[in-house]
Structure 1
Amino acid sequence: MKNFKYLLIMIIVFTISSCSKDTYNDHDYHLERINVISAELPDELIYGRTYEIKVNIELPNSCYFYYNQYDYIYDENTRLIYPIVHVDDDISCNQKITETTFSIPLQVLQKESYIFKFYQGKDSDGKDTFLTFEVPVI
């Protein structure tokens, strides 16, 4: 039985060490926040209802990919939204700009107005700038 354990361990070690990184077709990439160009929100929200907020972003070239990833940060009645893109590094990209739209589900669970701040890049001082909407709740 002891010999079987050692044999099994050797097989597992050999299998793991023989796996090549190349078989996974790895490539270099990084994640980056991307600017929001517009957002569609209702004029008012009804307490208890669920909405889909549509957000438009612009991908600057073919190395940028959006996979429905974003940071959604709560700060009292303010919501900060930062779309995140996957950017391929060290490959050639065409300079075709593409626009894409994604949705954020929103369940209205507060009676105060919502303030939505959509990331629009950094100003000359390096501070985040936002496209801002205040939507009352009825």
Structure 2
Amino acid sequence: MGKLYLKLLTIAFALTTVSCSLNDDDINFKYTPLEITGATLPDTFELGEVYDVNVNILRTNDCNLFDRFDVTRSFTDTSQIRTVSAIGIALEKDSCADVNDEIEDLFQFEVLYTEPYIFRFYTGDDVEGEAEFIEIEVPVKE
């Protein structure tokens, strides 16, 4: 039994070592924000309901891929604020072809508060490097 265990352990170690080897074919990437060009929200929310929020995202070249949404929460005395960014993966390749594709994806949003929600969708930075947003306010009815 001990010899069988030792053989299996040796095989497992050998496979792990081989499968973790690094080579020049590894794909390098970095995360990057993608431009949101538009979003579709209802005119009003109902408390306790879950909604699909459709978002249009600009993909400027074939090295940029959409990965996920990042939604951060903040609030004022009278509103719930959600800042939405589209997170992309930028493949580090020698050449990338321009595509200018607009893709659509969605995330689900549950209404938990009675205050109006303000959605701020990140569209990129202006010439001075300041973030710009599309802002959409949605009131909540109980």
What TM-score, normalized to structure 1? Answer: 0.85
The reply to whether residue 74 of structure 1 matches residue 77 of structure 2 is no
Q: Deviations over 1:8-63 (max 9, x none)?
A: 3322222222236479x631121111111111112211222221111111100111
Number of equivalent positions: 136
Query: CA separation of 1:125/1:63 partners in 2, compared to 1, >3 Å: closer, same or farther?
Result: same
Aligned to 1:87: 90
3-state SS of paired residue (1:118):
strand
Partner of 1:49: 49
Q: What is the CA distance between 1:7 and its match in structure 2? A: 3.2
- Measured on the aligned residues, the alpha-carbon RMSD in Å equals 2.2
Instruction: Give distance in 1, aligned partners of 2:59 and 2:125.
Output: 17
Which has the larger share of strand?
A: 2
Identity %: 27
Q: 1:115 aligns with which of 113, 118, 121?
A: 118
Given residue 102 of structure 1, which amino acid in structure 2 is its aligned partner? D
Does residue 131 of structure 1 match 2:134? Answer: yes
Asked if the contact 2:69–2:107 (Cα under 8 Å) also holds between the matched residues in 1, the reply is: no
Q: Which runs of 5+ in 2 are unaligned?
A: none
The one-letter code matched in structure 2 to 1:65 is L
Runs of 4+ displaced beyond 6 Å: none
Which whole-Å CA distance do the structure 2 matches of 1:12 and 1:2 have between them? Answer: 15
Read off the aligned partner of 1:60 and give its amino acid letter.
Answer: T
Match of 1:30 in 2: 30
Unaligned runs of 5+ in 1: none
TM-score, reference length from structure 2? 0.83
